[in-house]
Structure formats: C-alpha cells, structure tokens
Structure 1
Amino acid sequence: MTAAAIGSVLGAAEWRMRAAAHRDRLDALAGPYLRARAAGAKHPVLDFLFTYYGHKPARLRRWHPGFGVALAGAAEYDGLRGYQRIDEPGADAEPVVTVDPEFLRSRAGTLTYIADLLRATASRPAQLSCFGMHEWAMVYRTGEVRHDSVPLRLGAAGTDAVVESMPVRCTHFDAFRFFTPAAVPRNNRQLTRDDQIHTEQPGCLHANMDLYKWGFKATPLLASELLLDCFALALDARTLDMQASPYDLREHGYEPVRIETPAGRAEYVRRQAEIANRAGLLRKRLVASLDCLLERVSE
C-alpha cells in the first residue's frame, strides 16, 4: 500500500482515545468473566465466548481502525500480524502503520465465504419456535453434562422428559453436532456442515452469536467498534441461551427462563426476537463492510 492508497490517517491522540474507549467498553462487558478468571474460577455463561470461539480477551482488547486507515505514532502496531509500516516521503514525515493489502488479499476467500453465509442467512424468515431446546438435546439421556460445575435444574429424568415432550427444531449445525446420540434423530432435520449455508436462519441465537465469530475472523480488517457491537450482542444471546438451558444458574445470578412452561416459552420468543432484530442490523453492517473490503482486493 502506498501513502496515496490510505483513506485517512489518525493522529496519535485521536486513535489512542478511541483505543482506550474500546478497552473500557470491553472491560465493562466482560467484567464478570475477567474477575472469575482472576480468581481461578470458571464462569458458566461467559467462558463460552472466549473458550469455544477461541478469541482471548487480550486479542479482543486490542483496538483496530480497519483497512485503509493508518495510524501515526503507533510503533506498537508495527510488526503485528496483518500490519505494515509506511515511510511517507519527506524528511520530516512521520511513518504510519496500516493493514497490509497483501493480508487483505490472503483473506479474500474467507471474507467471501462469510459474506455469502451472512447474506444467505438474512434472506430467510426468522424462525422463533426452537425455544432453546438445543442445550437440552446436548444432555438428553446421558450421564455426562457439558457444564459439570452447575446442576441440572430439573434433574436428569426431568430434563429428558422435557425433551420428549417438545419438538426439537434446531437449524444451527454447530449446536446440532453436540447433540447426544439419542437426541440426534429427534431433530426435525439432520444438519451437515456442507448444508450450513442453506439452513442458517436469522432467528437462531447461535447464528446471531456467530456474528462475533465472523467479525473476529476478519480482524484486523474491520473496525473494532463493529466487532465489539457484535460481541455485546453475543453476550446477550449467550445469556438467554443459558437462562433457557436445563442448567440451574441461580447461584450465579441468572434466573431461569422456564421453557417447559407456556410463560417461559413466551418470554424466550420475545427476547429471541429482540436479539434477532439487533442481529439483523449488525449482519447488514458486516456484509456492507465485507463487500467494501472485497472491492479493494483487486486494487
């Protein structure tokens, strides 16, 4: 990238202020997880956002301006994955650091896949009738549970009875693949990785949580403000996901959404729809950003 190809340059005072605001916002969102980790404890709700997705808090705390924006006075970014230093002509010109176009080109295939998946998901109507049964299907008729530090709210027999009393309508392969063998045939369709682009739908909590995953996979090409908006949504989706799960999390401050009752199912659908509406806006922003990036690949 030449200096002429840079869309804008942020001075040190401006970008450091934005980076500090990003860190403060993340620390407020992830505070319970960070405090639990500092105490050597697990957090049954928030750990998922860092362990399953594999995005460490330290990496998420680093702010990125996005492709085409250069940073002045940013020696700490020089040498980071995806970045390059540009020495502008002129004896007194200060070097700047920005995302390398070669890195963008190397990620073009991944960005195309993400944009296609997000577009396909957005093209379908939201389905709001799963009631979070995927978490119940993951412990159906098994002596093992995924969160062994918290008890099942209804016990094993009660949990199995709920699964047997309700239809299972999971559309998200990365939830379905953790179903117990006994639960797999109870789903209304058998999901595969190859069919994911044809089955994802915008009402799914996990598909909406995954906006954070897809945004992180585009780091540092996307502005971190967008990524943190996706993280905030994932946090709220994960909270509902676990409140509606078979686990008893009241000791951790989470009241259950009792999906085995009509009132609990109504609450789940209401909150699921709110998350789906927020996710729809974020999905549009992500697709627009990815399309802009892909347009720059051939430059």
Structure 2
Amino acid sequence: MRPLTLLTAPDGEQRAAAHRNRAARYTVAHRERRSAGVKHPVEDFLFTYYALTPGRLERWHPGAGVVVTGRSATERAGWRDYRSLDVAERAGLGLTADEPAVTVDVDGFLTRRSVTVAFVGRLLRSTASRPGQFGCFGLHEWAMVYRQDAGDRRHEALPLRLGAAGTDAVVESHRLRCTHIDAFRFFTDEAVPRNELHPTRERQVELDQPGCLHATMDLYKWAYTLLPVVPGELVLDCLDLAADVREIDMRASPYDLTGHGLTAVPIETPAGKGEYVAAQRGFADRGAELRQRLLAALDSLAAFVR
C-alpha cells in the first residue's frame, strides 16, 4: 500500500478556497441567469447537459491518498467515500488520536463504483489509442436540425444563420462522419441515414476518438464521475477545456449567436473549415494530456486499497 500524503490544515483550506474561486467563474453567472429566468445556449450546457450541480462543482476534493486535517477534515467526515484514519495511520503521520484527519475511502468507492471505473478506464484507453479524425467539421449540430420544423429545434429561440433551406443544403452537400453516440442520438430522423457510421452506446469504446469535440468535452463528465478519487483541480481543468470546446461547437453550428456576442465559424466555407480544424486539433492536444492524467489517477487507485 502506498503511504498516505499529509496535507496541512492551512494548505487544505487554501486549496479548497482556490477551487471555489475557480469554480465561481462558472457557477456565479449560471445562478444569476437561473434566478432571472435567462438562458444561455453555450454556457448553460455545462450544467444542463452535464450532471454536476454548481454546489457540487464548488466542493473541493484532494483525491485518493491525500489526508486532510483541521476544518477540511471536519467538513468531510460525513461525506460519502471519505473515512477517518485509523490508529496506525495516524501514528505513521505523526497525528494525535483526537486530531480530525480524513482521506478518501478508496475501498468503499471501488466497492460501489467498480463497474463504472472499469468502463471509464476502457473508454479513455481506447480513445487514446487511436488517431484523431478531423474531417467532421462540426456537422453534428447541423444534422440535429436537418429538415426540422422551427418549433422542434433544441434552441428554438435562436435563428439559423442560413435559414432552414440553407442549413439543409449544407448537410446535403457534405459527408456526415459523426462517431459519438451523444451527438448522433440527437440527429433528426432524416439525418440519421446520411451518417457514415451508426454509433451506439454499446459501440462507444470502439468508436470514440480524440478528435471528436464531444469526446473531448466528456473528459469533464468522466472526471466528475470519478470524484472524489480524482482531485478537484483535475475536474476544473477538464471543465475549462469543455467550456472552450462548447463555445467552438456552437460557433460552428447553424445558429446565429451574434445576440450572445459570438461570431460564427462558418464551416460551410473553406476558411471556416480551416478555423474549425485548427481549433479541433488544439482541443485534441489538450484533451490528450487530461486523458492521461485521468488514467494515471485510475491506475494509482490500487495502491491505496487497504
């Protein structure tokens, strides 16, 4: 078993405060919009599509193998997947018997979440093992409104930049190459047979690839799914990437977002395609580093099983 790492009370409180401040970039504006009944088609996605609530996002976790003391330990003593240190562990770290000290309960987490942990590991490794594909041009968003009535659109309040007919023409003049089930499942019925592949949940490990914007955004989902055995800082790093990806995802969509201060990436043009692919490659590079950090966190868990 790998030795536990002791985090002093001031260091733990400092990291928790820094985490809350970073998370506030997303949570404060979202709460304000929600209170005012205002929707944002880009930023709200991070809370409406992904399941982590603002409150849970603001909650810092040190990750597996780290011991927190003081107020941080007292707060976490009642949280799920945390445990107090036993006598031998306390003695090994020079802690007194009555000093609050907790760490992530890796055994308990793995007992509850072993199937999920195994799936996430397989998916991340499989995705990392294959080359990125950079020829989709974000057409999944276009396929989601292909030959669809205005009232049925997911973002019905947003106008289409090229109108309905122009949007349909873009879809019909391009090859659809979507590899991700959680984009493909929103295709209209008319768009489904136009896609070169038929992604399913069962084929996700087989088909996810690192060039896909949705697979890159989903690193955030896998990071928070693994809380608290991964550190909160890694979750926020994945969220920062997901937010950047989401912006390009929508700027390259058929919607007119000028009302939200966002200019289009016109993927129906050669220049727009070039801009999209450049961003896509940059996201893939950032995603590769985060994917490896998530895998390293998963690989380390066995060392903390008692």
TM-score over 0.5 for the alignment? yes
- State the one-letter code of the partner of 2:51: G
> Percent identity over the alignment?
54
CA apart distance, 1:41 = 1.1
- State the one-letter code of the partner of 2:76: Y
SS at match of 1:9: strand
Alignment of 1:131-150 (within 5 A): 131-143=137-149, 144-150=152-158
Give CA-to-partner distance per residue, 1:38-76, whole Å, 9 cap, x none: 422111101111111111111011000011111111211
- Per mean C-alpha deviation after superposition, the further-off stretch among 209-218 and 8-17 is 8-17
Alignment of 1:267-278 (within 5 A): 267-278=275-286
Alignment of 1:39-58 (within 5 A): 39-58=36-55
Pick from 153, 161, 164 the counterpart of residue 161 of structure 2: 153
| Residue of structure 2 equivalent to 1:77 | 76
- Per mean C-alpha deviation after superposition, the further-off stretch among 154-163 and 211-220 is 154-163
Decide whether the 8 Å contact of 1:171 with 1:204 is kept in 2.
yes
- Per mean C-alpha deviation after superposition, the further-off stretch among 95-104 and 255-264 is 95-104
CA apart distance, 1:30 = 5.0
| Residue of structure 2 equivalent to 1:100 | 105
Q: Give me the whole-angstrom Cα distance separating, in 2, the residues matched to 1:91 and 1:276.
A: 47
Q: Give me the whole-angstrom Cα distance separating, in 2, the residues matched to 1:46 and 1:94.
A: 42
CA apart distance, 1:99 = 1.3
- State the one-letter code of the partner of 1:67: A
Q: Give me the whole-angstrom Cα distance separating, in 1, the residues matched to 2:253 and 2:114.
A: 37
| Residue of structure 1 equivalent to 2:219 | 211
| Residue of structure 2 equivalent to 1:280 | 288
Q: Give me the whole-angstrom Cα distance separating, in 1, the residues matched to 2:30 and 2:121.
A: 30
Pick from 24, 28, 33 the counterpart of residue 27 of structure 1: 24
Alignment of 1:1-299 (within 5 A): 7-73=4-70, 74-86=73-85, 88=87, 93-106=98-111, 107-143=113-149, 144-297=152-305, 299=306
CA apart distance, 1:214 = 0.4
SS at match of 1:55: coil
Q: Give me the whole-angstrom Cα distance separating, in 2, the residues matched to 1:8 and 1:294.
A: 16
Q: Give me the whole-angstrom Cα distance separating, in 2, the residues matched to 1:91 and 1:221.
A: 25
Q: Give me the whole-angstrom Cα distance separating, in 2, the residues matched to 1:138 and 1:284.
A: 31
Alpha-carbon spacing, 1:296–1:86, altered in 2? closer, same or farther (3 Å):
closer
Instruction: In structure 2, list runs of 5 or more residues that go unmatched.
Output: none
Aligned-CA RMSD value: 1.8
Decide whether the 8 Å contact of 1:259 with 1:268 is kept in 2.
yes
Decide whether the 8 Å contact of 2:106 with 2:229 is kept in 1.
no
Instruction: In structure 1, list runs of 5 or more residues that go unmatched.
Output: none
- Per mean C-alpha deviation after superposition, the further-off stretch among 156-165 and 130-139 is 156-165
Alpha-carbon spacing, 1:158–1:226, altered in 2? closer, same or farther (3 Å):
same
- State the one-letter code of the partner of 1:11: T
Q: Give me the whole-angstrom Cα distance separating, in 1, the residues matched to 2:27 and 2:40.
A: 11
SS at match of 1:195: helix
Decide whether the 8 Å contact of 1:243 with 1:254 is kept in 2.
yes
CA apart distance, 1:91 = 6.2
Alpha-carbon spacing, 1:246–1:9, altered in 2? closer, same or farther (3 Å):
same
- State the one-letter code of the partner of 1:51: T
Alpha-carbon spacing, 1:191–1:5, altered in 2? closer, same or farther (3 Å):
closer
- Per mean C-alpha deviation after superposition, the further-off stretch among 83-92 and 226-235 is 83-92
CA apart distance, 1:258 = 0.5
Q: Give me the whole-angstrom Cα distance separating, in 1, the residues matched to 2:96 and 2:251.
A: 60
CA apart distance, 1:164 = 0.7
Decide whether the 8 Å contact of 1:29 with 1:232 is kept in 2.
no
Give CA-to-partner distance per residue, 1:153-190, whole Å, 9 cap, x none: 22211111111111111010111011110000000111
TM-score normalised over the length of structure 2? 0.91
- State the one-letter code of the partner of 2:267: I
Q: Give me the whole-angstrom Cα distance separating, in 2, the residues matched to 1:227 and 1:57.
A: 13
CA apart distance, 1:92 = 5.8
